[in-house]
Amino acid sequence: MILDLLGIVQQDGHVGFIKQKIILDKEFVQSARKGRSPEKRFRFAEQCRESACTQWRDNKCGVIDQVISMLAPKQVPDELPQCGIRPECRWFKQEGGRACAVCPEVITDSLSEK
């Protein structure tokens, strides 16, 4: 599995995006495992597996459909956040700027630390 670093989770829980695509190496993974869980501190992106994923429905990603319906972005921002994976982002290909409008709100690890 190859992961890209999409952003860093800010204190308010929103994601601060990284401008350039960063493919993670073993050194980063080892370092990120120290302290709190990596998912609490970073936002990762994995290559879309399409029909091999349980979220794939009707030839599209069900996750972004669900997020957009929950957060209902009223309008697409004039300027999209800088993003290192947009050229290959499944959500952007599927929903365009609407996906970018809600992406910073997506938290991948909302469970409390023990």
Write the pLDDT tens digit of every residue in 81-92.
788 899 999 999
Residue 7: inside a domain: yes
Residue 112: inside a domain: no
Residue 38: inside a domain: yes
Domain count, the chain: 1
Tokens, residue 2 = 């190859």
Task: Give this prediction's pTM.
Answer: 0.79
Residue 35 region, left (φ>0) first, then alpha (ψ -120 to 50), else beta? left
Residue 110: inside a domain: no
Residue 63: inside a domain: yes
Residue 114: inside a domain: no
**pLDDT band per the 50, 70, 90 thresholds, residue 108:** low
Residue 111: inside a domain: no
Range of the domain at 94: 3-105
